[in-house]
Structure 1
Amino acid sequence: MRTAILAFGTRGDVVPLTGLARRLQSDGAEVVLAAQAPYRDEVVGAGVAYAPLPKDTRAETLASPAAQALVDGAKPRPSKEALEEMREGLRGVGRAMAAAADGADVLLLEGPVGALLGRHVAAALGVPSAGVMFQPASPTGDFSPPALGVRSYGRLGNRFVWWAGGFAERVYAPVVAELRADLGLPARPTRAERTRTWPVLYPFSEHILPRPADWPPHLRVTGYLRPEPVGTLGPDLAAFLSDGPPPVAVTLGSTATANGAALSSMIAEATAAAGVRAVVQRGWAGLEPEGENVFVVDEVPHSLLFPRCAAVVHHCGAGTTAATLRAGAPSIPVPGIMDQPFWARRLHLSGAATAPLPRHALTVDGLTAALRTVGEHRAAAEGLGEKLRAEDGAGRAAAAITDLFQPS
């Protein structure tokens, strides 16, 4: 079964899929993983065929004041300029997805962009598809859409908010219309396209978020995916880790904030005040805290770093959340936008994390206090880590794909 995985997003959207790709390969499938160029080496290094998708989300966000205002919380609603940039950021992506999917028997469409554009590609190619979503994207009465925050409006209210939130896709209507024309499809989706049941795989753990009872059977929660580890700690970092008590890890992942300098200063002050050592990933925020007990690194595999850390300060992206939980390390959530506050709350409710410290309101005193008390959450984090390491998310996802698409 020739399978194309289309993943337009940041590292947390792409790298976990290498674990799924390798599992599908071991089951005999031919797999290609399509992603932006910055992630090519990690895909190829994992032993998975790579296909290119255009754009560079990191560079485009860092170059856009409008986008950074959204990331930093300065403007909770996108301006007209930001909306046009969002549309422009997806032009050409669908065509590249179609090129990557040429010859595939099945398409796996990651995230909101995969769902938005990839389903039209699947219709044009006449092949089946399924979603792979790292955060809930299907209506439920249990909670409101994660991208809109953590407030619950009651079961009926939550379902209404899901319905109303679906109109947000209209922002991209011109891009979708252009893509359908390019693919030779009718201007509007056919009745068959609109009414077809679309399966979705959700690679998160029910230990963190129980599967909503009102989800229909074609929505499957499979458990977290483990990325294929690519890279090493490096001798200097390995020496730092061995030369003292376990440090805290600090990572904001793909947070392209303009406030990197201020955050770096807060991290340096808080870790010094709490008397802890720290390994800080520069990430998209360009973090560069200074201090005798601070070690700054670029990308290193979380699966190698986090198990050697006393705690992890992170933005609560889905991929980083999964890696922290699997390592059995307690969290200090510093969420920003989109689904990050949702996962921060789930971490805290699980007992594996301190109360969330929203990034826009982060202070030295608040971070210092969290660093001093995060050890109280280690037992819960270790217990969850043991459970998650026993899960086979890739195996369950691969079995679901076989069940959905291979003839019996």
Structure 2
Amino acid sequence: MRILLSTYGSRGDVEPLAALGAALQANGLEARVSAPGDAEFAALLTRAGVPLAPAFAPVREWAKEMVNRSRSASPEDRAKLISGQAAEIAARQYEALSAAAEGCDAVVAFGLFPSCAAARLVAEQRGMRYMLGTFCPIWLPSQHNRPHEYPGHPLPDGMTDNRLLWETDIRTKNALFGEAVNGQRASLRLPPVQNVRDYVYGNPVLLACDPTLGPWPDSDLIGAVQTGAFILPDERPLPDGLNAFLDAGPPPVYVGFGSISVASETGSAAIEAIRARGLRAVVAQGWAGLDLVDDRDDCFAIGEVNQQALFGRVAAVVHHGGAGTTVAAARAGAPQLIVPQIGDQPYWARRAAELGIGAAHDGPMPTGQSLSAALEVALAPKVLARARAFAGKVRANGADAAAKWLADRMR
């Protein structure tokens, strides 16, 4: 049996599927991952031993263009931009996934909604089993949480009943993505669907996050199979220069925002806050291209490295709140300071603060002063003690649990 794992997104979307693909193969199934063909993702999947079937386009330049185009747009124009891009993604990804699905028996789709819609349509056309996956519980309809608010489609004022709000979410997704989904269906001479959200979501959904970090209270609106986070083991050594820096003084504070295009001032503010506390810093350049502010020897810049090895050697992790970075820091027992930007990142920031394993920065635009205050919370002895105790509660076998479940479900 061969399962196609599909996503269109950043490293936080691709690396978990590399872990799941490797786990499927370890459990006697074949796996193939359709993901953006960026060189970093190709190398990642090669390391995992999972074949790559490239998605319709690399994602890094596409993401940068989308950020630039939406930065100064009004909410209404951003909604139009989302709908226009959705139509392009759905059509082009349908073609890519049609090729990737050759010889596959099932597809499990993660990532952007229109990419998942394309996967759902390919599965329907080919008579394949299909399942949607997600990395955070807030994306799923539940009486326990409100739906995500999209540009140009604010949630109704004064409405507090989450069930009613999730009904408005159906209308919102029809407005944003209905033309993309049903336009592609029309091109294939298929009838339109009236509820694109439920068509793409299906029931149940695979929830790939740690149940202690991101618990899923049972919902009567949708079912979820929560297996734990998909973690790809990483045995790569840290670079010699980084090792030397770590050995040369007390544990530094890590600063990194992954694929998020934060302002360059964010890195400067973080270094200012860290230095104000007499600490050293490791700055991950990421897609934002963060860099050092001077040539002092208390800061060290890095590219992509083994976070699993690094996070166990730092005093704290300052990051954007991506699901993967959050669970990596939690597993390492490192206190976290999360500066959330978009999507599910405010949720992970809130959870770190609620669990007492870190601090949540108030808002996406930090200053040296605001980061210094939040860093004081994250570095408190009680937070360090709580983070170290919490590390043992994070599951490391989510990918294996999901692989076993899918092996039974998809046959």
Give me the TM-score of the superposition, normalised by structure 2: 0.88
Which whole-Å CA distance do the structure 1 matches of 2:211 and 2:28 have between them? 28
Q: Which residue of 1 aligns with 2:32?
A: 32
Q: Within 5 Å, which residues of 2 pair with 1:45-84?
A: 45-64=47-66, 66-67=68-69, 69=71, 79=78, 82-83=81-82
Within-5 A mapping of 1:247-326:
247-257=252-262, 259-260=263-264, 262-291=265-294, 292=296, 293-326=298-331
The alignment of Structure 1 onto Structure 2 pairs a total of residues equal to 396
Is 1:187 aligned with 2:191? yes
Task: State the identity as a percent.
Answer: 32
Give the letter aligned to residue 96 of structure 1.
Answer: A
Q: 1:78 to 1:342 in 2, by over 3 A?
A: farther
Separation in structure 2 between the aligned mates of residue 397 and residue 60 of structure 1, nearest angstrom: 30
Equivalent of 1:242, from 244, 247, 264? 247
Alignment match, 1:93: 93
CA contact (8 A) 1:329 1:378 kept: yes
**Counterpart Cα distance in 1 of 2:61 and 2:394:** 34
The unaligned stretches of length 5 or more in structure 1 are none
In 1, Cα distance between equivalents of 2:71 and 2:243: 37
Match of 1:379 in 2: 385
Distance of aligned partners of 1:322 and 1:89 in 2 relative to their CA distance in 1, 3 Å threshold: farther
Q: Which of 132, 140, 143 is the aligned partner of 2:145?
A: 143
| 5+ residue gaps, structure 2 | none
Show the counterpart of 1:388.
Answer: 394
1:382-407 deviation per Cα after TM superposition (whole angstroms, max 9, x unaligned): 12211114x4211221122123122x
Residue by residue over 1:120-169, the C-alpha shift from the partner in whole angstroms, topping out at 9 and shown as x without a partner, is 111011111111101223211111125679x9x99962222222123333
Larger mean CA deviation between 5-14 and 38-47 belongs to 38-47
Residue pair 1:333, 1:355 contacting (<8 A) in 2 also: yes
| Per-residue CA distance 1:354-404 (angstroms, 9 max, x = gap) | 1333223x1111111222332221122112211114x42112211221231
Per-residue deviation, residues 63-119 of structure 1 (Å, max 9, x unmatched)? 35654517xxx8666536633553365140121112111211111111343432211
Instruction: Please say if residues 204 and 223 of structure 2, whose CA atoms lie closer than 8 Å, have aligned partners that are also in contact.
Output: yes
Deviations along 1:284-321, one digit per CA (max 9) or x if unpaired, are 11111324211111111211211111110010011111
Matching residue's letter, 1:98: S
TM-score, normalised via structure 1 length: 0.88
Q: 1:353 to 1:146 in 2, by over 3 A?
A: farther
Residue type at the aligned position of 2:45: V
Q: Is contact 1:5–1:108 with CA below 8 Å preserved after alignment?
A: yes
How many angstroms does 1:53 deviate by? 0.4
Is 1:165 aligned to residue 166 of structure 2? no
User: What is the rounded CA distance, in whole Å, between the counterparts of 2:407 and 2:62 in structure 1?
Assistant: 37
The alignment's C-alpha RMSD in Å is 2.9
What is the aligned partner in structure 1 of residue 107 from structure 2?
107
